[in-house]
Amino acid sequence: MAIRRICKYGEKILEKKTKKVNFDEVKKDLPALLADMYETMDLVAGAGLSANQVGLDMRLAIILIHRDGEPSLKITIINPELVERSGTLSAEEGCLSFPGLFAKVRRSAKVKVRALNEKGLPIEINAEGIFARALQHEMDHLDGVVFTDRLPLLSRLKLKPVLMRLKRRWKKMDETKLSPKRRALS
């Protein structure tokens, strides 16, 4: 297993729609790739990570939801498609590609998603709460959309100079170089 560098805001791969995965073509390499993604997400205590966030043009993401400090839901979604949505809910969101930045994002309260799991089997997910939010956030990544794109125009305008400044700092951040001490703490 290996830690992978997480692409940050401003890196072009985050702005591009990812390619649909041909499961048979990738199944041999998938266990190692997913192990790397889970290890990387765990290192920085994330709740979700898309393949393009680690530099791969693939419609694939992982989600790990914690409840009371314990991992309670872990799921891999390949070629996910949103089939139903209902309600709206605003809540604070962050992103591993925007370290330390949080903003209130309006999303659907409930979603139904169809995807393949890590074994290539079709799954249907009915989600609400933080799980529904994580699914929408990750599926947005796979479409080249980041959470700040979802903010109202005025918030986006206010955030622009802040992002320009942070972008320079984020560019230099490399998760593969985090010290073991930092790893133990996260």
| DSSP secondary structure letter of residue 12 | G
State the nearest-atom distance from the C-beta of 177 to Co ion, in Å.
21
Which spans in the chain are helix H? 23-26, 30-43, 129-142, 153-171, 180-185
Cα 30 from chain centroid (whole Å): 17
x/- map, 83-102, Co ion, by CB under 5 A:
------------x-------
**Backbone angle region of 19, left / alpha / beta, with phi > 0 → left and psi within -120 to 50 → alpha:** beta
Does residue number 56 form part of the binding site for Co ion (CB under 5 A)? Answer: no
**Which residues lie across from 90 on neighbouring strands?**
106
State the nearest-atom distance from the C-beta of 172 to Co ion, in Å.
19
Does residue number 61 form part of the binding site for Co ion (CB under 5 A)? Answer: no
Question: Among residues 7 and 30, whose Cβ is nearest to Co ion?
Answer: 7
Dihedral sign, Cα of residue 100, residue 58, residue 17, residue 133: negative
Interface with Co ion: number of residues (CB under 5 A): 1
Residue closest to Co ion when measured from CB atoms: 95
Q: Active site includes 11? A: no
Q: Which of 11, 25, 124, 138 is catalytic?
A: 138
What is the Cα–Cα distance from 26 to 32, expressed in whole angstroms? 11
Does residue number 116 form part of the binding site for Co ion (CB under 5 A)? Answer: no
Question: Among residues 33 and 101, whose Cβ is nearest to Co ion?
Answer: 101
Question: Among residues 78 and 95, whose Cβ is nearest to Co ion?
Answer: 95
Question: Among residues 37 and 95, whose Cβ is nearest to Co ion?
Answer: 95
State the nearest-atom distance from the C-beta of 149 to Co ion, in Å.
11
CA distances 144 to 17, 71, 94, 162, Å, are: 5, 27, 16, 21
CA distances 30 to 51, 60, 96, 124, 172, Å, are: 11, 10, 22, 21, 28
State the nearest-atom distance from the C-beta of 132 to Co ion, in Å.
15
Does residue number 51 form part of the binding site for Co ion (CB under 5 A)? Answer: no
Residues at the interface with Co ion (CB under 5 A): 95
Residues catalogued as catalytic? 138
